[in-house]
Chains A and B, each alone.
Chain A
Amino acid sequence: MNITIINGSNTDAKWLDHENALLSFAKKLETNHQVTLVTIKDLKLNYCTGCWDCWVKTPGVCMHKDDGPGYLKTIVKADMLLYASPIVSGFMSSETKKALDRFIPSVLPLIRPYEGEYHHLKRYDSANTFGVLLFEDMDTDPEAAQIIFENFNRIRKNMRADHFISQLVRPDNMEVLAHEISRY
Chain B
Amino acid sequence: MKLAVINGSPRGEKSNSKKIGAWITSQQGLHNDLTVDTYYLFKINRQDAYIEDLSGTYILLFIFPLYVDSMPGIVKLFFEKLEQKKQAFGGRPVYFVIHSGFPELIHSRSLERYLKYYATKIMDMNHLGTIIWAGSEPLQMAPDNFFRKKIILFEGQLATILTKKRLPEDISEQLGGKEHISKFQSIIYPITPFKDFYWNSQLKKNKAKKLLKNQPYA
Contacts and interface: CB of A to CB of B under 8 A. Distances in A.
Interface of A: 10, 47-52, 55-61, 69, 72-73, 76-77, 88-94, 97-98, 100-101, 103-104, 106, 108-113, 116-119, 123-124, 141, 143-144, 147, 150-151, 154-155, 158
Interface in B198-218: 199, 202-203, 205-206, 208, 211-218
Interface in B79-127: 79-80, 82-83, 102-104, 106-107, 110-111, 113-114, 117-118, 121-122
A110 B10 contact: no
A88 B212 CA distance: 37
B39 to A, nearest CB: 16
Contacts of A77: 217
Contacts of B145: none
A76 to B, nearest CB: 5
B217 A151 contact: no
Interface stretch (B20-28, B29-37, B49-57, B61-69): B61-69
Main SS at interface, chain A: mixed
Contacts of B212: 59, 108-110
Given A55-B199, A118-B102, A147-B117, A97 B71 contact: yes
B76 A91 contact: yes
B193 interface: no
A137 B79 CA distance: 21
A56 B202 contact: yes
B121 A141 contact: yes
B164 to A, nearest CB: 24
Interface residues of B, number: 57
A144 B110 CA distance: 11
Contacts, number: 165
B58 interface: no
B74 interface: yes
A155 B71 CA distance: 12
Given A57-B208, A60-B216, A47 B203 contact: no
Contact of A155 (B68, B114, B211, B214): B68
Contacts of B1: none
A87 B184 CA distance: 40
Nearest to B182: A116
Contacts of B190: 112-113
B180 A117 contact: yes
Given A48-B10, A91-B118, A109-B199, A158 B68 contact: yes
A124 B218 CA distance: 7
Contacts of B202: 52, 55-56
B133 interface: no
A52 B181 CA distance: 25
15 contacts: A47-B74, A50-B65, A56-B199, A58-B208, A61-B214, A94-B79, A94-B80, A97-B76, A100-B73, A103-B68, A106-B217, A113-B181, A117-B102, A118-B103, A151-B69
Given A50-B10, A112-B190, A97 B217 contact: no
Given A90-B122, A111-B195, A147-B117, A47 B217 contact: no
Given A59-B203, A113-B190, A155-B68, A47 B44 contact: yes
Given A59-B212, A90-B122, 8 more contacts: A48-B67, A59-B203, A76-B217, A89-B82, A91-B70, A110-B195, A116-B183, A147-B114
